[in-house]
Structure 1
Amino acid sequence: MGFLKKIYENRIWEIAEPAIQSEGLELVCVECIQMKSRWVVRLYIDRDGGVTIDDCALISNHVGDLLDVNDVPPEAYTLEISSPGLDRPLVKDKDFIRFLGRRVIIQTEYKIDGVRNFKGLLKDYRIGESGKKTIILDLSGKIFTVPMEAVVKANLEGLLDHR
């Protein structure tokens, strides 16, 4: 199921991103989740200043038509469009660069220095000459270097400022 999920997510990204960009929006993340008899396709969109319900409705109609025409996914599906929220997923290089200095939650495929689930400050994001990407995290004063290829999931920590 994981292989099919990845194929659908990649194909949906290819189909949806140009349509979303044409409306002045950014495609942040695509998630496909298989339920009992149907798929749930979630698209997270954003723009400077945030997105509105009208933006979500417009993208839902436009992208829904494109997915139907392209028969992706070929099974029954429910399309959900929303803003990325406070716990925004970090997917692209520019996401990590944009949110330097913010608190993040990162889950890795394997343990790094004994840790798989990191919750701390995003100190740096490096792209080496070879193209190797690394995330530098500060967890209460302890610095971790996490190779990007080990990352399974990365999100901003959804903190509300109650000042």
Structure 2
Amino acid sequence: MNNGRFFQRSNRRNISILRRGFSCAGTNRLGSQFGGTYLNTAQKVEQLLKQPVAELGYELCDVEFIKEYGDWVLTLYIDKEGGVNIDDCERVSRAVDPLLDEADPIEQAYMLSVSSLGLDRALKKDADYTRNLGKRIEIKLFAPKDGKKEFKGELVSFDETNVVVRLEKGELTLERKAIALARPELIF
């Protein structure tokens, strides 16, 4: 399946990259494996790798499949208690490589990147909000609420429709669909 690959470390961020150059003919086998429903590439990969990554002691927090500078890049964002370092990224990369080769979920050549979440990673999923309960976050809204579009405070709670943050003057409830960006507040 693979007709060439190389491993490199990137100084740009705490990741390991595995270059995958291969071509595959035929259909994507994940369609039948996961009930035959259409899922985008990132969702397919997340379903395939979530459990194996968890068995290594990491949480697979997010998967992105995007084109960067003309190359397709599959990025796995991982986390664990105490944080993630380059050795963790390399361990996950080496463990998932044969699984990706066997399942063959991506038709074109791509680079595999395994990364920590980063300090300012956007809160997208419930798991992201759960990880940040009791911590300070910053929120930017699409449209102003009470004359403001930006808020900073402690994440108190959330559900499928709302996020509650504790500000200096009390608690504020915001609709999740009104939030353009939520992320951990960086305090230096």
TM-score by length of 1: 0.72
User: What is the letter of the counterpart of residue 65 of structure 1?
Assistant: P
The answer to whether the 8 Å contact 1:30/1:43 transfers is yes
DSSP-derived class of the 2:99 partner = helix
For the residues of structure 1 that align with 2:91 and 2:178, how far apart are their CA atoms?
36
Change in CA separation of 1:33 and 1:149 when aligned onto 2, cut-off 3 Å: same
For the residues of structure 2 that align with 1:14 and 1:62, how far apart are their CA atoms?
15
For the residues of structure 2 that align with 1:61 and 1:36, how far apart are their CA atoms?
24
- The superposition leaves residues 46-73 of structure 1 with CA deviations (integer Å, 9 ceiling, x where unpaired) of 1112223222112112223222322233
Is 1:122 paired with 2:154?
A: yes
Cα deviation, residue 35, structure 1:
2.7
DSSP-derived class of the 1:145 partner = strand
For structure 2, list consecutive stretches of 5 or more residues without a partner in the other structure: 1-38
The answer to whether the 8 Å contact 2:137/2:155 transfers is no
User: What is the letter of the counterpart of residue 113 of structure 1?
Assistant: K
The answer for the alignment partner of 1:148 in structure 2 is 176
The answer to whether the 8 Å contact 2:157/2:164 transfers is yes
Pick the structure with more helix per residue.
1
For the residues of structure 2 that align with 1:120 and 1:105, how far apart are their CA atoms?
4
The answer for the alignment partner of 2:98 in structure 1 is 65
For the residues of structure 2 that align with 1:86 and 1:19, how far apart are their CA atoms?
25
For the residues of structure 1 that align with 2:121 and 2:145, how far apart are their CA atoms?
26
Deviates more, 1:115-124 or 1:13-22: 115-124
TM-score by length of 2: 0.64
Q: 1:25 aligns with which of 40, 58, 63?
A: 58
The answer to whether the 8 Å contact 2:156/2:166 transfers is no
How is 1:10-159 mapped onto 2 (pairs within 5 angstroms)?
10-107=43-140, 110-111=142-143, 113=145, 118-127=150-159, 132-138=160-166, 141=169, 144-151=172-179, 153-159=181-187
User: What is the letter of the counterpart of residue 58 of structure 2?
Assistant: L
Cα deviation, residue 143, structure 1:
5.3
Q: Which runs of 4+ in 1 moved over 6 A?
A: none
Q: Which of the pair has more CA radius of gyration?
A: 2
For the residues of structure 1 that align with 2:125 and 2:163, how far apart are their CA atoms?
12
Tell me the percent identity. 32
User: What is the letter of the counterpart of residue 136 of structure 2?
Assistant: R
For the residues of structure 2 that align with 1:46 and 1:112, how far apart are their CA atoms?
33
For structure 1, list consecutive stretches of 5 or more residues without a partner in the other structure: 1-5
For the residues of structure 1 that align with 2:138 and 2:147, how far apart are their CA atoms?
12
- The superposition leaves residues 7-42 of structure 1 with CA deviations (integer Å, 9 ceiling, x where unpaired) of 122111111111110101111222222235431121
